[in-house]
Amino acid sequence: MGDFTFEPSVGANFMRQTRRNVQLTAQALSVPDVYNIGNARSNVQADERDEAQEILGVFASGTVSYQDMLFLDLTGRNDWSSTLPLDNNSYFYPSASLSVIVSDLVEMPEFLPLSFAKVRASWAQVGNDTDPFRLTNTYTFGDAWGSTQTVVSEADLANANLQPEITSSYEFGTNLRFYDGRAQLDVTYYRSTTRDQILSVPLAQSTGYNSRLVNAGEIRNTGVETRLQFSPIQDWGGFGWDVSLNWTRNRSTVVELADGIDTFVLGEGPFGGSAQAREGGRMGDIYGRVFDRVEDPNSPHTGEIIYADGLPQLTDDVEKVGNYNHDWRGGIGSTFSYENLQLNVLFDVRKGGLLYSNTHATGIEGGSLEGTTRARNETVVGDGVVQNDDGTYSENTEEAAYVTWLRTYYDRPNVESNSFDATYVKLRELSLRYNFTPDWLTRAGVQNVGVSVTGRNLFLWTDVPHVDPETTISGGDGQIPGFEVQQIPSTRSFGMNVQLDF
């Protein structure tokens, strides 16, 4: 077709997943430490669960290019899922992308250091189904009541009208190379919107269920991703230096939740703190009890902590304290090479975000942390105000026992005083490699021998006391970001590798 090329593709896919879980439980053993069901001393309880899921998909794609400098890609896929109702089990999701190599299409001015320029734009949709047994209520066998077998309903109320989740996204980006590839810059802007997410929303316990399944909400993500690679020194007496920088920023906004629901709890931390999604807010906003403060904007004490009996007071209701998501993430990598020696250094950077530390709260309460060692009979006058009978405020002057004041100030339900800026910098990896080829190995067909030593998570710089801000608590549904509850310390590891190339 001359300057144009066209590459079509069609296909089909069938997937079947089956899962079987058989569980036999006994409360006691006849012979200790012999873990065999035949060794059970008590009645054996049996539980079996079988699940199956099928997805049939057909798809087509096509790429049109013009002189290898303008490219148009189109795709389309339709899936039929067995886990969705018959009326809603089919969902179609297309995509389209356009890219142009500008440096081939337009002659670049000679005075510019730009040697390659590419711009791209794309739009895509992605569909998603759900897990088995979410359309009709199911039951499991419970303990027998005399000679009568009991059954127990699932915690979620099923929904026979579920629809597939659909995520629509678009992005724009560019790839630039300078000085014949000595430096490269990639920049991408994206925006995605997810609708009809399948969520479990709370129900009154009087219904017999904890929650119900619904299609709900609209979540919007916008962000920027950048990467810069350059070589300050390519070859200076055998020495080279390559640098790689990356930076990303994402904002996840809750546009809409389910009808009648204005708050969805993403995960609960200890003592009342929780990560929530609220309409108009961001995914990952952390709510909890905070210091009770003067709210009167006309008062000279606006924002100060309110005291009573010499101790700081907490609010009765929860308030937004922050968000567990980092403001941005970055990485810095450097590779230094000289002759056959190579040194790689990688730093990870996380800026912002909030972390509640139960290690801090518990350590204060138990007197095991620095700052709790003052004499137990000492007293302290807290920095704050007391409310007068006429509604005005005056400076707090009442003394309180230091131990009592400290435990009250950092009481575990106080999300404000036990939360910290989760910014940190980590030396993620440091490795040293040496390449050589002894003559006796060359005769055996070995072209190169590489010996390297590597250390990971070697150093951490952060203002979060006592814990690694990467740690989070593990809940029933996985990790709950933003909350740390006396987690196991993070590990530092070392390794050695020998590589033979033939």
What is the rounded CA–CA span in Å between residue 456 and residue 428?
5
Asked if residues 263 and 298 have their Cβ atoms less than 8 Å apart, the reply is: no
What is the rounded CA–CA span in Å between residue 472 and residue 482?
6
Q: What angle do CA 426, 428, 434 make, to 5 degrees?
A: 140
Element housing 440 (H / E): helix 439-442
| Residue with token string 């099928």 | 54
Mean pLDDT, rounded, for 322-350: 95
Q: What angle do CA 386, 390, 392 make, to 5 degrees?
A: 45
Confidence check: pLDDT of 237 > 70: yes
Q: How confident is the model at residue 479 (pLDDT cuts 50, 70, 90)?
A: low
Element housing 345 (H / E): strand 341-351
Q: Could you tell me the domains of the chain? A: 59-305+315-359+415-501 (2.40.170)
Q: Give the residue, 268 or 494, on which the prediction is more confident.
A: 494
Contacts of 144 (CB under 8 A, 6+ apart): 150
What is the rounded CA–CA span in Å between residue 185 and residue 175?
6
pLDDT in tens, 276-333: 999 999 999 999 999 999 999 999 999 999 999 999 999 999 999 999 999 999 999 9
- Closest by CA to 120, choosing from 142, 101, 148, is 101
Distance between the two ends of the chain, CA-based, in angstroms? 44
R_g of the chain computed on alpha carbons: 30
Quote the pLDDT of residue 368. Answer: 83
What whole-number percentage of the chain has pLDDT above 70? 97
For 58, 100, 275, 277, the CA distances from 479, given in Å and listed in that order, are 35, 41, 12, 16
Contacts of 322 (CB under 8 A, 6+ apart): 285, 286, 353, 354, 419
| Bridge partner list, 248 | 225, 329
Q: What are phi and psi of 365, to 5 degrees?
A: -60, -40
Quote the pLDDT of residue 489. Answer: 83
Q: Locate 264 and state its tokens.
A: 């969805």
Determine the 3-state secondary structure of 190 from DSSP.
Answer: strand
Quote the pLDDT of residue 450. Answer: 85
Q: How confident is the model at residue 251 (pLDDT cuts 50, 70, 90)?
A: very high
For 8, 99, 112, 229, 230, the CA distances from 119, given in Å and listed in that order, are 23, 6, 17, 18, 20
| Range 99-134 burial, b when 16+ CB lie within 10 A, else e | bbbbbeeeeeeeeeeebbbbebebebbebbbbebeb
Quote the pLDDT of residue 473. Answer: 59
Q: Locate 475 and state its tokens.
A: 């809940």
- 362, with CB counted inside 10 A (0-12, 13-18, 19+), is middle
pLDDT in tens, 132-181: 988 998 888 777 787 788 888 888 889 999 999 999 999 999 999 998 88
| Range 228-238 burial, b when 16+ CB lie within 10 A, else e | ebbbeeeeeee
Task: Write a three-state SS string for 8-56.
Answer: EEEEEEEEEEEEEEEEEECCCECCCCCCCHHHECCCCEEEEEEEEEEEE
Confidence check: pLDDT of 352 > 90: yes
For 2, 10, 75, the CA distances from 266, given in Å and listed in that order, are 56, 40, 34
Asked if residues 192 and 252 have their Cβ atoms less than 8 Å apart, the reply is: no
Cut 0.75: pTM above it: yes
pLDDT in tens, 390-444: 889 999 999 999 989 999 999 999 999 999 999 999 999 999 999 887 776 676 6
Average pLDDT, the chain: 90
| Residue with token string 């079509």 | 8
pLDDT in tens, 430-474: 999 998 877 766 766 777 888 999 999 999 999 999 899 988 755
Q: How confident is the model at residue 1 (pLDDT cuts 50, 70, 90)?
A: low
pLDDT in tens, 72-98: 999 999 999 999 999 999 999 999 999
Q: How confident is the model at residue 476 (pLDDT cuts 50, 70, 90)?
A: very low
